[in-house]
């Protein structure tokens, strides 16, 4: 496998490079993911030096596996299985509209989304609601959210119109991870972190309801009879304003539960988004100004990308943002 430093990555100061999940069995979780998505193994080995310190945990041994789209240079998924006792889920019992931690990561369906949904089902995943069609006039998409036993949730999206661009020549059933969602209890506070503190640019901002029309159909699992009346505010942000390694925040007016206090390692599920940055100390200062608790700096062995000075910023709603300097 090639050895690349973070400074060579296309994602440097340009969105997250990979999503990190804590799981009970890294090899089994990787097999389910690769079977469903067409991803391939990029790295496997002992949990890297510095990983547990960055997570605020004692060294525990274990294994980590990185899977990626075989043609992509970003948008991978790193599965970390610590040694020791079995752990509960970070969002155990949470519904899609409940706040706290990292809710999901997003993939493009490169073919028919129904075929990709069936492929996920054959590999042990299930949807939280039926495949849903959204028609906004100039934009039409289909979406479904898949879930597995490790607490991982993946939103699959198929562009109907206009034609999808930026993925030309990409083969396989699904794209690399291009976006990740956090359900937040306070939209204004989350926006201040990403826009005012970190200086990221809005990719998209909308203020509407959980269903696109009176039918109430939605991919989040809200009852169709209620969804048209549930307020939903969405913002997508990224350092360069691109839908690539972007962070999406959603606030529902549904009176949901808040799981922020329990979305902490070593609980299983989506754990962190990892960013390659020019200056980890600046990232730490900015996120602290935005209300985050900061862990580090730590020297992290980030295989196969090399090593670097790393910090972790924990948002007030329990999402973890890890930044590794070139």
Prediction pTM value: 0.95
pLDDT average, residue stretch 259-264: 96
Would you place residue 9 in the very low, low, confident or very high pLDDT band (cuts 50, 70, 90)?
A: low
Would you place residue 294 in the very low, low, confident or very high pLDDT band (cuts 50, 70, 90)?
A: very high
For residue 207, pLDDT beyond 80: yes
* pLDDT 10s digits, 160-182: 989 888 899 999 999 999 999 99
- Given a contact cutoff of 8 angstroms between Cβ atoms, the answer to whether 199 and 286 are in contact is yes
Query: Which 8-state DSSP code applies to residue 257?
Result: -
Report how far residue 306's alpha carbon sits from residue 15's, in angstroms, rounded to the nearest whole number: 18
Q: What are the tokens at 318?
A: 């329990």
pLDDT average, residue stretch 246-264: 96
Name 223's bridge partners. Answer: none
- Given a contact cutoff of 8 angstroms between Cβ atoms, the answer to whether 50 and 310 are in contact is yes
pLDDT average, residue stretch 123-151: 92
Residue 306: which residues within 8 A CB-CB, separation 6 or more?
3, 4, 5, 6
| CA dihedral sign of residues 318, 18, 109, 136 | positive
Which domains, from first to last, does the chain contain?
A: 6-88+263-325 (3.10.180.10)
CA 208 to chain centre: 23
For residue 3, pLDDT beyond 60: no
């Amino acid at each position: 496998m090639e050895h690349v430093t973070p400074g060579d990555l296309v994602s440097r100061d340009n969105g997250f490079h990979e999503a990190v999940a804590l799981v009970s069995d890294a090899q089994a979780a990787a097999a389910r993911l690769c079977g469903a998505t067409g991803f391939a193994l990029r790295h496997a080995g002992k949990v890297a030096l510095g990983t547990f310190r960055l997570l605020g945990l004692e060294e525990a041994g274990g294994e980590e596996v990185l899977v990626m789209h075989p043609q992509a240079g970003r948008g991978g998924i790193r599965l970390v299985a610590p040694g020791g006792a079995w752990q509960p889920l970070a969002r155990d019992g949470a519904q899609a509209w409940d706040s706290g931690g990292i809710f999901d990561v997003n993939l493009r369906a490169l073919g028919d989304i129904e075929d990709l949904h069936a492929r996920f089902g054959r590999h042990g995943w299930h949807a939280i609601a039926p495949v849903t069609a959204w028609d906004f006039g100039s934009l039409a998409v289909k979406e479904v959210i898949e879930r597995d036993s490790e607490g991982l949730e993946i939103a699959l999206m198929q562009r109907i119109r206009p034609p999808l661009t930026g993925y030309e020549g990409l083969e396989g059933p699904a794209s690399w991870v291009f976006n990740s969602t956090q359900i937040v209890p306070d939209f204004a506070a989350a926006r201040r972190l990403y826009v005012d503190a970190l200086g990221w640019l809005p990719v998209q901002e909308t203020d509407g309801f959980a269903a696109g029309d009176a039918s109430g159909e939605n991919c989040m699992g809200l009852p169709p009879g209620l969804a048209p009346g549930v307020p939903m505010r969405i913002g997508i942000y990224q350092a360069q304003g691109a839908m690539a390694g972007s962070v999406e925040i959603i606030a529902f007016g549904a009176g949901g539960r808040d799981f922020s206090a329990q979305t902490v390692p070593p609980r299983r599920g989506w754990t962190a988004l990892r960013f390659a940055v020019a200056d980890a100390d600046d990232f730490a200062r900015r996120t602290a100004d935005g209300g985050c608790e900061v862990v580090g700096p730590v020297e992290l062995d980030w295989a196969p990308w090399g090593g670097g000075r790393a910090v972790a910023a924990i948002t007030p709603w329990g999402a973890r943002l890890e930044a590794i300097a070139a």
